[in-house]
Structure 1
Amino acid sequence: MKEDGAGNVMAYGSSAKVTLQSHYDMVCIGRAPKIETVVENGWMHAKESSLGADNGIGVAMMLYLIQKGVQADFLFTNDEEIGLVGAENLELEIRTPYLLNLDSEEAGKVYIGCAGGEDIYVKRDVDYFTPTVPGRRYRLLAETPGGHSGVNIAQNIPNAITELCSVIAQNAAMEAASFRGGERINAIARHAEAVVWMPEGHEPQIQSPCVRVEEIDALTVPLLREGRVAAKALFGFAHGVRGWNRELDLPQSSINLAGVEICEGVIEVALSARAMSNEDLSRLVDQSRAGWEALGFESRTEGRYPAWKPEVNDFSKRVLEAYRKIYPDASYAAIHAGLECALFSERYPELQIVSIGPTILDPHSDRERVDLESIGKVMQVVSDLSTV
């Protein structure tokens, strides 16, 4: 067994033909990492937290096969959820001709392609002013279901930041003292809150069912001079799907309004862009940066990872054949989310890669759950392929 400087771990088999690979980190939402599992009607979920089936199930399968003495190579990667960091900085040798990634989330699908992505951060200084007329302060609180910024982006899940800022934008007399929202760069914002002020004679009008208001007090406090401009920019930003791939029947490109925070006189907005081709990704990132820069924001990017172009090869055919013994309707697919497969494919052009996994719904949220029956079926497929 070997470990590299990025925290990746490889357990080498003596006569391995295939490398099994999963990441061992998770997105912690709610009470996680204090996880209390619950099993209901054939599904496992966690009480008031994300479950970590993404990608804990893959890790569990690999540990089971190690205990069984299967002679495959087992690669456990680190920090996938914060930008595929472990895979990007892999120092361990992949010595087999085939790699089976266990980080997909729909049983019966043989994944042979994924989106590329890049994170965008924009910021600008903010000034404050003190109102000269009496008024009252309120707290706006937005709460939405949340979800994975790639897998769930086409489901029209409300974004808490968008919903919060819609209230500020739609109340002409409302000024903001502060606002913040979002949890993780790769999660649709679930929570957002703002402290706002309105002059006497005006009360907040709330149209969004996701937002509630609490009256605080009548203290005179500094207000953001650019608060309404920032709120309108956030409300007007086109969070969600930007283009559709009809051939693959999934988003071609999308962008997630992931977070906003004001700290020490600076407002910073975090965005996560995805696309099924590297060309579309570059275009989306450039357009997004240009739009915010036109509003006086500075921009930077980080965490870029490439798209994994769908390709049918000998290994994918073998995986599909094995899968159809368990799932007769199994088929090829691609996913509008980042998989470490893209980085492995870029680094090892001759490596044949496929991704499979059990059915996991709503990852990166406290609604995450895994179909227990699908785990057993996928385990059969993985066992068959571990000694190809």
Structure 2
Amino acid sequence: MQSLQSTSASSVWSYFSNICAIPHPSKHEQQLADWIINWAKENNISCIQDNIGNLILKKDAAPGYENKTAVILQAHLDMVPQKNNDTEHDFLTDPITTIIDGEWLHADNTTLGADNGIGMAACLAVLADNELKHGPLEVLLTTDEETGMTGAFGLQADSLQGEILINTDSEQEGELYVGCAGGINVNVSLPYEKMESTPSDKAYEISLSGLKGGHSGCDINLGRANAIKTLASVLNNFDAVPFHMAVFEGGSLRNAIPREARAVIVCDAQYQNSLEIIINTLQLNLCSEFKNAEPNLQLSVQSCDLPASILTHQSQTNLLNSLLGCANGIFTMDNNFSDVVQTSSNMGVLTQNNSEQSSFDIQVLIRSQVEQEKQIEAEKIAQHFAEHGAAVRKDGNYPGWTPNKSSAVYKVMEAQYTELFDQKPKTMVIHAGLECGLFSDKYPHWDMISFGPTIKFPHSPDEKVHIASVDKFWQLLTATLAAID
């Protein structure tokens, strides 16, 4: 990132480069946390790690700002580990390779980690810069935000003394976020029965790939294909081919729209030609259906080894019906904010447990700005799978963040944005889970706001950050800190 050092946010890019060099996928952030702890010690910055893994760093006010309101800057330590299927990358050991592409920075066929690495880098840059004007300052870097908000759940109510929290985890420059969706997981274990395959039959792997995926909240309104749901629909169109299913799996994260799915089916060899014709026809149909959202969609079939066991007809029918009947996507829109989704669901993961207690394990994430709607839709989905014989468990419930119409920090940041860029920012609610919702339970007196640079397609290998927006993000952050009374 050497060529980015000439921008006004050069210090942010420098720290982001360090962050990219250290593996930090969700639940494996300690290596990065250790680096920050050592960095803080070298720079005489107070830093502690709490018993859940969060880092809390503190810095005294700039001279003359000792009596200003104490501020907390907040980001999360972890990143979503997603890569294209043909990409060799180990998120536990390999650094993120960054590529400058015109106005954008992206990674080499993996997630970039700008979500929330840019925000984290900005927090460190503020701590390191002794020329900036600000009151008493705390930085909270939470652990495991992407897979369970573990750090926010485990944060102790007496850990911080600040009164204003600035969250850096939003992803559209020019928008100030004053609220967010809450979420809840529906975890499904659908049992199935199996039987031995017929030795004379042939096996075929059917794969759906090339989908864009993306953030299951921010990108749920883009009309993208859900690989699990779409492949289930494909298999449901095999009327002309009597088949048995042996394998079905797809997706990898509950909070990412699944980009890939595959199934292994078994049928008599006489149906191979019919199968290939059906796949080719369905490929054309899907390309037409998703022509704008999924230009690289690829449905393919190829021969594979015959599996030892297959699903019984009843179990196969039950699985497909349960997947096809599960509501997925947008339920309602937010009437208070233009083009903002209010309630949605994402079937993010389907794995197959082929042990003695055979089951298909499914993870669905429901999001909503309205708590009652969230619970109602989660219960509907839970009941749907229960009616198909599944064991269902709901967990990971976290609250949304209700907008504060009298927010003082919002008024300060709005004024600074207008002065810096000669236009007013948009006031927004994000259809994603920010930790602000959990913080408001433990620190109800906090005045909170969220903002960030422009990051496109987070939670997918297409993730990229707009370089110029990071400059504006940095200018607004430093101006806001200086202006808070």
TM-score class, shorter? over 0.9
User: Whose Rg is larger?
Assistant: 2
- What displacement does 1:288 show? 0.8
Distance 1:220 1:113 in 2: 50
1:259 maps to what in 2?
349
2:128 maps to what in 1?
67
Which letter maps to 1:240? G
Specify which of 40, 48, 51 is matched with residue 2 of structure 1: 48
- What displacement does 1:256 show? 0.3
Describe how 1:277-296 pairs up with structure 2 within 5 A.
277-296=370-389
Describe how 1:92-111 pairs up with structure 2 within 5 A.
93-111=159-177
Distance 2:108 2:252 in 1: 19
Specify which of 352, 355, 358 is matched with residue 450 of structure 2: 355
1:45 maps to what in 2?
106
Q: Is the 8 A contact 1:19 1:75 kept in 2?
A: yes
1:214 maps to what in 2?
302
For residue 380 of structure 2, give the secondary structure of its aligned residue in structure 1: helix
The alignment status of 1:188 with 2:249, answered yes or no, reads no
Q: Provide, for residues 235-286 of structure 1, a one-character-per-residue CA deviation record: whole Å limited to 9, x for no partner.
A: 3322111111132121111000111111121111110110111111111111
Describe how 1:209-358 pairs up with structure 2 within 5 A.
209=286, 210-216=298-304, 219=306, 221-225=308-312, 226-248=315-337, 249-263=339-353, 264=355, 265-312=358-405, 313-327=407-421, 328-358=423-453
For residue 82 of structure 1, give the secondary structure of its aligned residue in structure 2: helix
Judge which range, 61-70 or 131-140, deviates more.
131-140
Structure 2 CA distance for partners of 1:123 and 1:314, relative to 1, 3 Å: same
Distance 1:166 1:32 in 2: 32
Q: Is the 8 A contact 2:59 2:127 kept in 1?
A: no
Distance 2:90 2:418 in 1: 36
Which letter maps to 1:343? L
Structure 2 CA distance for partners of 1:216 and 1:385, relative to 1, 3 Å: same
For residue 147 of structure 1, give the secondary structure of its aligned residue in structure 2: coil
Distance 1:131 1:32 in 2: 35
- What displacement does 1:32 show? 6.1
For residue 187 of structure 1, give the secondary structure of its aligned residue in structure 2: coil
Judge which range, 363-372 or 155-164, deviates more.
155-164
Which letter maps to 1:214? Q
* Higher relative contact order (CA closer than 8 Å, sequence separation 6+): 1
What's the TM-score once normalised by structure 1's chain length? 0.95
Q: Provide, for residues 39-72 of structure 1, a one-character-per-residue CA deviation record: whole Å limited to 9, x for no partner.
A: 1111100011000000000011111111103552
Distance 1:256 1:44 in 2: 28
Q: Is the 8 A contact 2:176 2:425 kept in 1?
A: yes
Which letter maps to 2:71? V
Provide the alpha-carbon RMSD of the alignment: 1.7
2:29 maps to what in 1?
none
Distance 2:188 2:168 in 1: 34
For residue 155 of structure 1, give the secondary structure of its aligned residue in structure 2: coil
The alignment status of 1:146 with 2:199, answered yes or no, reads no
The alignment status of 1:85 with 2:150, answered yes or no, reads yes
For residue 246 of structure 1, give the secondary structure of its aligned residue in structure 2: coil
Q: Is the 8 A contact 2:414 2:424 kept in 1?
A: no
1:169 maps to what in 2?
236
- What displacement does 1:133 show? 8.7
Structure 2 CA distance for partners of 1:132 and 1:139, relative to 1, 3 Å: closer
Q: Provide, for residues 315-341 of structure 1, a one-character-per-residue CA deviation record: whole Å limited to 9, x for no partner.
A: 211111112223413121010000001
Report percent identity of matched pairs: 31
Q: Is the 8 A contact 1:168 1:174 kept in 2?
A: no
Distance 1:51 1:77 in 2: 19
Judge which range, 18-27 or 122-131, deviates more.
122-131
For residue 10 of structure 1, give the secondary structure of its aligned residue in structure 2: strand
The alignment status of 1:137 with 2:137, answered yes or no, reads no
Judge which range, 256-265 or 233-242, deviates more.
233-242
- What displacement does 1:200 show? 3.9
Mark the runs of 5 or more structure 2 residues left unpaired by the alignment: 1-46, 62-68, 84-88, 287-297
Distance 1:5 1:274 in 2: 28
Structure 2 CA distance for partners of 1:24 and 1:42, relative to 1, 3 Å: same
Mark the runs of 5 or more structure 1 residues left unpaired by the alignment: none
Distance 1:200 1:41 in 2: 51
The alignment status of 1:118 with 2:184, answered yes or no, reads yes
Q: Is the 8 A contact 1:37 1:47 kept in 2?
A: yes
Q: Provide, for residues 98-144 of structure 1, a one-character-per-residue CA deviation record: whole Å limited to 9, x for no partner.
A: 00000000001110000000111111221112356943210011111
Judge which range, 178-187 or 134-143, deviates more.
134-143
Which letter maps to 2:302? E
Distance 2:184 2:137 in 1: 33
Q: Is the 8 A contact 1:316 1:354 kept in 2?
A: yes
